[in-house]
Amino acid sequence: MSEIARSQAGEASGSGQPLWLLAELTYRCPLQCAYCSNPLDFAAVKEELSTEEWIDVLTQARAMGAVQMGFSGGEPLVRRDLETLVAEARRLGFYTNLITSGLGLDEARIEALHAAGLDHIQISLQASDPDVAAAVAGSPKAHAKKLAMARSVKAAGYPMVLNVVLHRHNIDRLDEIIALCDELGADAVELANCQMYGWAHLNREGLLPSREQLETAEATTARWRERLAERGRDMRLLFVVPDYYAERPKACMGGWGAIFMTVAPDGAVLPCHSARMLPMSFPNVRDRGLREIWYDSDAFNRYRGDGWMREPCRSCDERHQDVGGCRCQAYLLTGDATATDPVCSLSPDHHLVEAARREAEADQRRVEQLTQRSVRASRVFCRQ
């Protein structure tokens, strides 16, 4: 089918072209964050796509119309061919974003990535306090390294986004966290309350903040926005509320198979990076072309549009705004991926979210007692 015919067919079936490609280059990572969104059984993935296979993926995605791409993982800097892939992505015309912990970065690599044409770097910070950061990431040295690399990235002239995953063990230090990001010269800070997928779901009750913590954090963010504006400091603060405290779900990935496409380290193609844990199989770029996968595969069509919805979503006026919420969240909470996302207060399963909040209030675990993401811990979840 020609590009135009394909595009028209896509429009007719409600599936436009993908705009965003997330290339999860590897599940390898030197850190062990207890909230990592990687699959619990990531250790089962052995054979990563080669440089040539990744270049083929980039070429196919760009030909389909994707314009933005993120290199992530795991830790994408583990891949020694990252600079080659960035250069190829830029040559193809992608806007490129590196999503990294900062581990594996040094001045030489920053320069090499700059030379390759990388547009944007996002570094994650775990906390303002080195002890909490070490406990969360499972590495005593990572925090200092991250701060040094954030300074180097800024010095190299990159627009810098710092990403801080918030949870009950660091959210009370938000004032210090934002001050640190200010001092590091961030252009934007994503204060992303932990969403409960992958390892975060495993540690859910030990990570979810209380409503009181959340309200205090929102007030702190509002105060900082005023302070920054008074100083004429251009540092955007984006505060992402945890789904478990929302009344309506988010329009997950802008809709299943609507604009986002994730390619996992072994070539599995997913509508979002969490979808791998759903009880269904996903096609692989080693077997089929991206175009066929996007338009024709069962995996990408199963929850596309609103034909799959059940009540109360099916007759709800808001269904085009939130597309019924997140399929992964529905599955994790109810065991049924076709259910209304229980985050929605109209869902008959909303009591499960309320129960999770109560369980979190009662959880006394220290951050050191959470299950950290590690190869050893992952093997327990690997299917035989």
- Give the annotated binding-site residues for [4Fe-4S] cluster: 29, 33, 36
Enumerate long-range contacts of 96-100, CB under 8 Å, 24 or more apart: 96/69, 96/70, 96/71, 96/120, 97/68, 97/69, 97/70, 97/71, 97/121, 97/122, 98/70, 98/71, 98/122, 99/70, 99/71, 99/72, 99/73, 99/124, 99/163, 100/72, 100/75, 100/76, 100/124
**What is the closest distance, in whole angstroms, from the C-beta atom of residue 219 to ligand SF4 in the complex?**
27
CA atoms within 13 Å, Cβ hemisphere of 110: 20
CA distance 330 to 371: 23
- Contacts with ligand SF4: how many residues (CB under 6 A)? 25
Only segment of 26-34, 166-174, 218-226, 360-368 that touches ligand SF4 (CB under 6 A): 26-34
Nearer to ligand SF4, 87 or 377 (CB): 377
Q: By CB under 6 A, what part of segment 346-365 binds ligand SF4?
A: 346
Question: Is residue 243 close enough to count as binding ligand SF4 by CB under 6 A?
Answer: no
Residue 31 in contact with ligand SF4, rule: CB under 6 A: yes
Residue 36 binding ligand SF4, by CB under 6 A: yes
Site for ligand SF4 in 317-336 (CB under 6 A): 318-319, 322, 324-325
**Whole-number minimum distance, CB 347 to ligand SF4, in Å?**
6
Strand, helix or coil for residue 173: helix
Q: In this structure, what are the phi and psi dihedrals at residue 295, rounded to the nearest 5 degrees?
A: -90, -35
The whole-angstrom distance between residue 302's C-alpha and the CA centroid of its chain comes to 22
Is 114 a binding residue for ligand SF4 by CB under 6 A? The answer is no
Only one of the segments 27-35, 145-153, 207-215, 359-367 lies at the binding site for ligand SF4 (rule: CB under 6 A); that segment is 27-35
Q: 10 Å Cβ neighbour count for 240?
A: 15
- Say whether residue 249 binds ligand SF4 (CB under 6 A): yes
- Note the residues at the interface with ligand SF4 (CB under 6 A): 29, 31-33, 36, 38, 73-75, 101, 248-249, 312-313, 316, 318-319, 322, 324-325, 340-341, 344, 346, 373
